[in-house]
Amino acid sequence: MTVRGFLEAIVNRSAWKSSGLAAWKEPVGNIRVSAAVLLVCVGLGVAPAAAATCEDLASLKLPDTTITLAQSVAAGAFTPPPDPFGFPPAVPFKNVPAFCRVAGVIRPTSDSNIQFEVWMPSAGWNGKLQGIGNGGFAGTIPYSALSLPIARGYAIATTDTGHVGGDASWALGHPEKLVDFGYRAIHETAVKAKAILRAFYGEGPQRSYFSSCSNGGRQALMEAQRYPDDYDGIIAGAPANFWTHLLSAAAWNVQALSDPASYIPASKLKAIEAAALAACDARDGVVDGVIDEPTKCGFDPSVLLCKGPESDSCLTEPQVAALKKLYAGPRNSQGEQIFPGYPPGSETGPGGWILWITGAKPGGSLLSFFSTQYFRNIVFENASWDPKTFNLDKDVTLADEKTARILNATDPNLTAFQSRGGKLILYHGWNDAGIPAQNTINYYQSVVARMGQRDAGQFVRLFLVPGMQHCGDGVGPNSFGQAGVSIQADAGHDISLALERWVEKGTAPDTIIAAKHGADPDPTKGILRTRPLCAYPQVARWKGAGSTDDAANFVCVTPDSGK
């Protein structure tokens, strides 16, 4: 190997394997030293930095930070606390290798209390940092998301964003905690994690990635927009990035369904979805229970108007009017669209409208909960605020004035992120009843308009997922590595590996194969259907021959062009 090749191997860790250096990194007593760095330092006459043992990290001094735990965890020995949202770990922790667990608290202000954790493989570190975000109002360390990355050799970092609990009561009277939640905690955690990695391994990460969904998707975009140096590659799934308008729309939806005559009970959702599918499922050439482009559906709820006595198979006039409002989305008195409406064909399922929009009773949905918590504790700072008093014109303006700068991640100017070589992948399920996919399309298009098609194409991709609900689930193929599980561990089937290949090899992803799993928990078995996800604006079209459950029989085309 030439001297130049040797130096390039150090700069580009992906070249280590071919150079024979990949395995040349072993503990020497209590000191771990990268062999490559050691040789270079010796050659330059510079003493290499020694790394610490895991337990030594308890005394590590970092700005505004207190390390509260530094503990070696044996393989399979970690038992996570119960997840407050009931999510199981993606992989049982008994399959997790030995790692060094560091926990601490960051206090950039006197009212900050940002709890964070950094996990580092004791052996076999792949040289990469994986940042992991939070859903909802955060308020907990997302242990359920940590098992897979650490098992794959990543060092990982995450945070509770500075408070405890799943509602927004923590924000009432605590403006600095709102800033921590809005953007500061994720950034501070990334900075501190890299310092901890340097202390433990004797070197920082070669590459850093962040991937999360929902509020985590908002956090992902915050990182790209505010702190472009934190991560080399970012995946933002179903981002709640237009926070002020998303929760304003949610409050508006609650009002649309608040009248008992207008409320749409869960028993009628099946009939609504069936009518939407009958109108639009076949327009993509395949009848499969999935509407591939629901914004082009043109479904008119009036066809469900009861012709006789009311039943679960029809809607009353007030219910038809309410459904049209939900599909259309809110507009203010000047006719301006405040937020997109929800597409037809996504009403049922475990993550459908009964969970997010209609609820089991009026005002009983998740979006009703989130919007009420937001306006009570953050916008009006009045814990007794009544959602019935919501005014679309005045209250959206107030929400924007008070919190848009802190909570919204809508800045389309990603010049700094692009300039330093960053890559961004967005994804969103078309059947998402929590956040309409059109919101992500709108943000993507704003980036293209601001950066130009040519420049945007060099660093950002959007993948829309027909039939997928919020971050996963749904009737369509919905597994493509976004939750750490894929049918094949390669860039063609796993969105995280596609991002890494783009960052490290320069190959942009144009398609990713998604799978619909059956009951078998093994991701390589029980596959019901595969389908290509196409880089927007392209969509998948059946070739006209072969099984419609096999991705190989589809091609990505530009809509209405045939190309």
- In this predicted model, what pLDDT tens digit does every residue of 325-336 receive, in sequence order? 999 999 999 999
Positive or negative: CA dihedral 430, 434, 436, 441: negative
Residue 231 located in a structural domain: no
Q: Which domain holds residue 530?
A: 409-563
Distance separating alpha carbons of residues 145 and 499, to the nearest angstrom: 18
Q: Confidence class of residue 87 from pLDDT cuts 50, 70 and 90? A: low
pLDDT at residue 561 is higher than 70: no
- Please indicate, yes or no, whether residues 168 and 293 belong to a single structural domain of this protein: no
- Strands 128-132 and 155-159, bridge-based pairing: parallel
- Please indicate, yes or no, whether residues 38 and 78 belong to a single structural domain of this protein: no
pLDDT at residue 35 is higher than 70: no
Q: Which pLDDT score is estimated for 88?
A: 66
Q: Confidence class of residue 6 from pLDDT cuts 50, 70 and 90? A: very low
- Strands 527-534 and 511-517, bridge-based pairing: antiparallel
- Please indicate, yes or no, whether residues 267 and 352 belong to a single structural domain of this protein: yes
Interval 483-502: pLDDT, tens: 887 788 899 999 999 999 99
Residue 215 located in a structural domain: no
pLDDT at residue 10 is higher than 50: no
186-193: average pLDDT:
98
| Rg value, the chain, Cα | 25
Domain count, the chain: 4
289-301: average pLDDT:
93
- Please indicate, yes or no, whether residues 105 and 10 belong to a single structural domain of this protein: no
* Residue in this structure with the two tokens 């320069």, named with its chain if needed: 506
Q: Which pLDDT score is estimated for 81?
A: 82
Question: Is 229 one of the catalytic residues?
Answer: no
Q: Which pLDDT score is estimated for 5?
A: 35
Q: Looking at 180, 230, 395, 432, which residue is catalytic?
A: 432
- Strands 65-73 and 554-557, bridge-based pairing: unpaired
Residue 238 located in a structural domain: no
- Rounded-to-10 torsion of CA 547, 553, 559, 561: -120
* Residue in this structure with the two tokens 């405890």, named with its chain if needed: 164
Q: Which pLDDT score is estimated for 518?
A: 83
Strand boundaries in 107-222, DSSP class E: 114-121, 128-132, 155-159, 207-213
Q: Looking at 112, 214, 248, 496, which residue is catalytic?
A: 214
- Please indicate, yes or no, whether residues 443 and 537 belong to a single structural domain of this protein: yes
32-37: average pLDDT:
34
CA distances from 338 to 150, 175, 330, 405, 481 (A): 41, 26, 6, 17, 32
Residue 212 located in a structural domain: no
Q: Which pLDDT score is estimated for 95?
A: 86
pLDDT at residue 299 is higher than 60: yes
127-143: average pLDDT:
96
Q: Which of 406, 433, 458 is the last residue of a domain?
A: 406
pLDDT at residue 12 is higher than 50: no
Distance separating alpha carbons of residues 292 and 533, to the nearest angstrom: 11
72-87: average pLDDT:
84
Interval 387-432: pLDDT, tens: 999 999 999 999 999 999 999 999 999 999 999 999 999 999 999 9
Residue type, 506: G
Q: Which pLDDT score is estimated for 524?
A: 73
Residue 229 located in a structural domain: no
Q: Which pLDDT score is estimated for 427?
A: 98
pLDDT at residue 468 is higher than 90: yes
Mean residue pLDDT of the chain comes to 89
Q: Confidence class of residue 43 from pLDDT cuts 50, 70 and 90? A: very low
Interval 119-130: pLDDT, tens: 999 999 999 999
For the purposes of burial, counting CB atoms within 10 Å of the CB of 109, is it exposed (0-12), middle (13-18) or buried (19 or more)? Answer: middle
Q: Looking at 470, 479, 494, 517, which residue is catalytic?
A: 470
Distance separating alpha carbons of residues 232 and 137, to the nearest angstrom: 26
Q: Which pLDDT score is estimated for 82?
A: 75
Report the percentage of the chain scoring pLDDT > 70: 88
Q: Which pLDDT score is estimated for 559?
A: 86
Q: Which pLDDT score is estimated for 40?
A: 31
Report pTM.
Answer: 0.89
Structure tokens that stand for 55 in this block: 């337990």
Distance separating alpha carbons of residues 36 and 103, to the nearest angstrom: 29
Q: Which pLDDT score is estimated for 42?
A: 30
Distance separating alpha carbons of residues 156 and 150, to the nearest angstrom: 7
pLDDT at residue 90 is higher than 90: no
Structure tokens that stand for 97 in this block: 């290798």
**129, HSE (Cβ side, Cα atoms, 13 Å):** 25
Residue 230 located in a structural domain: no
Q: 489-524 as b/e, with b when 16 or more CB fall inside 10 Å?
A: eebbbbbbbbbbbbbbeeebbebbbbbbbeeeeebe
- Please indicate, yes or no, whether residues 459 and 371 belong to a single structural domain of this protein: no
List alpha helices for 51-202, DSSP H: 147-151, 175-179, 185-201
- Please indicate, yes or no, whether residues 94 and 157 belong to a single structural domain of this protein: yes
For the purposes of burial, counting CB atoms within 10 Å of the CB of 467, is it exposed (0-12), middle (13-18) or buried (19 or more)? Answer: buried
Residue 308 located in a structural domain: yes
- Please indicate, yes or no, whether residues 197 and 344 belong to a single structural domain of this protein: no
- Please indicate, yes or no, whether residues 397 and 445 belong to a single structural domain of this protein: no
Distance separating alpha carbons of residues 69 and 400, to the nearest angstrom: 39
Question: Is 470 one of the catalytic residues?
Answer: yes
- Please indicate, yes or no, whether residues 108 and 61 belong to a single structural domain of this protein: yes
- Please indicate, yes or no, whether residues 427 and 526 belong to a single structural domain of this protein: yes
> Where is 423: in which H helix or E strand?
strand 423-429
Distance separating alpha carbons of residues 349 and 353, to the nearest angstrom: 8
